[in-house]
Each structure stands twice: as structure tokens, then as C-alpha cells.
């Protein structure tokens, strides 16, 4: 039975989503389920405690050679914080149960380094804590910290101090009101 109307739109979106995941898996050998994300220092916002820099730890349990390559520039050096972007892409319109995809990308090439599924409300709470930290402290290094650890290493492979965290709706449009964008930064 042929699809029509909204059904065909849903199918096209699903196929594009599957193709993206398949491409990452086939080319890079990484799957979203190979990543575990843990956040720290976000509860102080709700209790109005002393501000602490929010941090996110991403552990990768897949084939580490591929992720190492993605985190390394053409010069053989590990990418620095300024060469990466962190973003949340919503899968549906924002509500209490919206799923999202957190991604780290290479700012220079635009290629995905990694992506993983997360609850959008949890990520937005993290962004709120990072925004609050930036407003209440004079930490010029960053508003939050990202650590990426490979399964076969006891120490993080990279640690970044970041100032931006971009949020996109399900159609790919930037949601400035939900994003962490420091003043003076033009996108």
C-alpha cells in the first residue's frame, strides 16, 4: 500500500535518520550504544548552592582506534576545544519526553566525531547549569567541561573546557533560547 500525506514525510525522515546512523557505523565502526554519558555538578542550580563547573564524562566502549582517529587532526595532534562543537539535536518538538542526540563534531571539517542518544530535558538542565555557572563566576576557561574516555585507558583521552552548547530543533533550526552562546559570539 503506498504512503501518502504525513506518512510519507515520516518515512523520509526515518530513512534519513537510519542512513545517518548506518553511515557512521559503517565508516567509523561506532554506534550510539557504545557511549555512556554521566554529568556532574548540575544539582547546585536547583538548591542555589555555591556554583560548580558542570562536567560531562563520555565513556566509549567500542573500537577505540576509530574514535582516536576522529579526535585527531590532520597534523596528528589531538583536536583542541576550539576545533570541536557540542550540540543537541531534538528528535521531536520539545516537551517532557523529547529524545535528543548529543553530538561532538569537528568544527573545521563539520564531520561527526561522536553522537549518542539522551533525554532532551536532562541535556537542557545541564545547559542551564552551565549558563548559571558562567553568569555567577569569572571562569574565562569555559562554562562546562567535557571528558572523553576510551575503554582501554584509565585517564580521559581528551578534556575540553567549552563555552558553547548549541541546541537544534527536529528540523535543524538553531534554538537560541535553549542554546549556551556566550555574549559576543556570532554564529
Which secondary-structure segment (H or E) carries 103?
strand 99-106
Question: Which value, to the nearest 10 degrees, does the dihedral of the CA atoms of residues 171, 176, 177, 181 take?
Answer: 140
Q: How many Å apart are CA 161 and CA 169, to the nearest integer?
A: 25
Taking the whole predicted model, whether its pTM rises above 0.85 is answered as no
pLDDT tens-digit series, residues 56-88: 999 999 888 889 999 999 999 999 999 999 999
Instruction: Give me the pLDDT at residue 20, please.
Output: 38
- Cα–Cα distance measured from residue 98 to residue 116, given in angstroms and rounded to the nearest whole number: 14
Rg for the chain, CA atoms, rounded: 17
Could you report the per-residue pLDDT of 81-120, keeping only the tens digit for each?
999 999 999 999 887 788 999 999 999 999 999 999 999 9
Amino acid at each position: 500500500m503506498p504512503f501518502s500525506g504525513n506518512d510519507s514525510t515520516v518515512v523520509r525522515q526515518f530513512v534519513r535518520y537510519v542512513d545517518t546512523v548506518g553511515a557512521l557505523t559503517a565508516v567509523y565502526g561506532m554506534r550510539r550504544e557504545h557511549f555512556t554519558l554521566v554529568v556532574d555538578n548540575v544539582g547546585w542550580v536547583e538548591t542555589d548552592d555555591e556554583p560548580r563547573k558542570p562536567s560531562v564524562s563520555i565513556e566509549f566502549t567500542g573500537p577505540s582506534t576509530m574514535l582516536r582517529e576522529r579526535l585527531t587532526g590532520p597534523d596528528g595532534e589531538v583536536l583542541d576545544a576550539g576545533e570541536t562543537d557540542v550540540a543537541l539535536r531534538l528528535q521531536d518538538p520539545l516537551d517532557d519526553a523529547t529524545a535528543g542526540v548529543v553530538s561532538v563534531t569537528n568544527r573545521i571539517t563539520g564531520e561527526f566525531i561522536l553522537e549518542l542518544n539522551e533525554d532532551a530535558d536532562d541535556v537542557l538542565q545541564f545547559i542551564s547549569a552551565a549558563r548559571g555557572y558562567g553568569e555567577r563566576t569569572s571562569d574565562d576557561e569555559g562554562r562546562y567541561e567535557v571528558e572523553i574516555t576510551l575503554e582501554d585507558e584509565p585517564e580521559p583521552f581528551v578534556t575540553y573546557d567549552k563555552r558553547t552548547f548549541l541546541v537544534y530543533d527536529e528540523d535543524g533550526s538553531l534554538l537560541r533560547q535553549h542554546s549556551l552562546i556566550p555574549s559576543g559570539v556570532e554564529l
